[in-house]
Amino acid sequence: QLTMSLNSSTLVNEENAQGPKRNIECLESLELQTPSSFQDNPLQQLQLASQEVLEKAKKSGRSKCPRCNSSRMFYCYTCFVPVETVPTKEIPTVKLPLKIDIIKHPNETDGKSTAVHAKLLAPDDVTIYKYPCIPEYEEKRHEIALIFPGPNSVSVKDIAFHLQKYAKKGVCASDDDCSREPLLKQAKIEPEEEKKPNECISSSRSEGTSLKKIIFIDSTWNQTNKIITDERLQGLLQIELKTRKTCFWRHQKGKPDTYLSTIEAIYYFLVDYHQEILKESYKGQYDNLLFFFSFMHTLIKDAKCCAGKE
């Protein structure tokens, strides 16, 4: 039986939202969330780029996708580009410390998934695949992890230890092959952590830098079984996230509020990775991954308030 903690959230409850509602002009001073504590209000503390471009786009309404000419709000969820009223140069770009693959369930509605936010905001580091068209990961499993709360999942802080075990099992062909792998980050190495040459891990590499890619599943919890049981994902290290509450406006019915949307899961993983693997203080480096999410959250919150639902 799966451990249903926040992480399951990871599995993304993209029972998602319809696009943001337009022409919402009320309650300008409305707070982002009703609760007052930071734990219940994580979006209030984000260090975001100016969202003025989204405010302008909201007032002008839907616009054309520059590639497929479809009418969209803010961005095209099939072409992964902003619409004509949202200049690309005014959208922040986030550089990630590793690559991210998002595997999208074929039954997930494109317009209801927050996975596209990651591609829009970190285009060089994020790739979205629609299942069953996914890569073969077996040869690279010593540098890849899957976000999934399975019975054998480990915490973010334990990633390095477990990936080393994969390398020791002979995933690398030779010491030279391993040492030629590009480094993501040089972290502190204690003397006792030095590696032996025959361990197939270069002694010059820092703990945790063997991780090159992280995989997320973009699906409702009930749909994940089809993907997680795919033979191409078997044997990958599975990671379970810390428990956090979702701010997603279209939450899966009957599921706990620790089930995150896809973009939330990506964001929180990166924050944990930055602190626990790179060993650096977090100063908002990945906050702009929630650039669209936070804006749409406010729109939906305001719309519900105007409709008397709050």
What is the pTM (predicted TM-score) of this model? 0.75
Q: Residue 81 in 3-state DSSP?
A: strand
The DSSP string of 255-271 is S-TT---HHHHHHHHHH
In terms of Cα–Cα distance, which of 16, 10, 9, 7 is closest to 251?
A: 16
The DSSP string of 271-285 is HHHHHHTS-----ST
Q: So what's the pLDDT on residue 197? A: 37
Q: Using alpha carbons only, how large is the chain's radius of gyration in Å?
A: 20
Task: Identify the burial level of 21 via C-beta atoms within 10 angstroms of its C-beta, where 0-12 means exposed, 13-18 middle and 19 or more buried.
Answer: middle
Q: So what's the pLDDT on residue 207? A: 43
Peptide bond into 132 cis (omega under 30): yes
Residues near 292 by Cβ (< 8 Å), separated by ≥ 6?
A: 54, 74, 75, 114, 117, 120, 121, 263
Q: So what's the pLDDT on residue 112? A: 85
Q: How far is CA 291 from CA 100, 103, 269, in A?
A: 18, 22, 17
Strands (E) across 185-264 are located at 213-218, 237-239
Q: Chunk the chain into consecutive blocks of 10 residues (it has 310) and report each block's average pLDDT, rounded to whole numbers.
A: 36 41 35 39 86 96 96 96 96 97 92 94 97 94 93 93 76 40 38 39 43 94 88 95 82 70 96 95 97 92 70
Longest dimension (CA), the chain: 66
Q: So what's the pLDDT on residue 250? A: 64
Question: Per-domain residue ranges for the chain?
Answer: 46-91, 96-164+209-309
In the 8-state DSSP scheme, what is residue 89?
Answer: G
Q: So what's the pLDDT on residue 81? A: 96
Angle at 261 between CA 54 and CA 118, to 5 degrees: 55
Give the count of alpha carbons within 13 A of 71, CB side only.
3
250: amino acid identity, one letter = R
Element (H, E) at 130: strand 126-130
Report residue 48 CA to chain centroid gap. 17
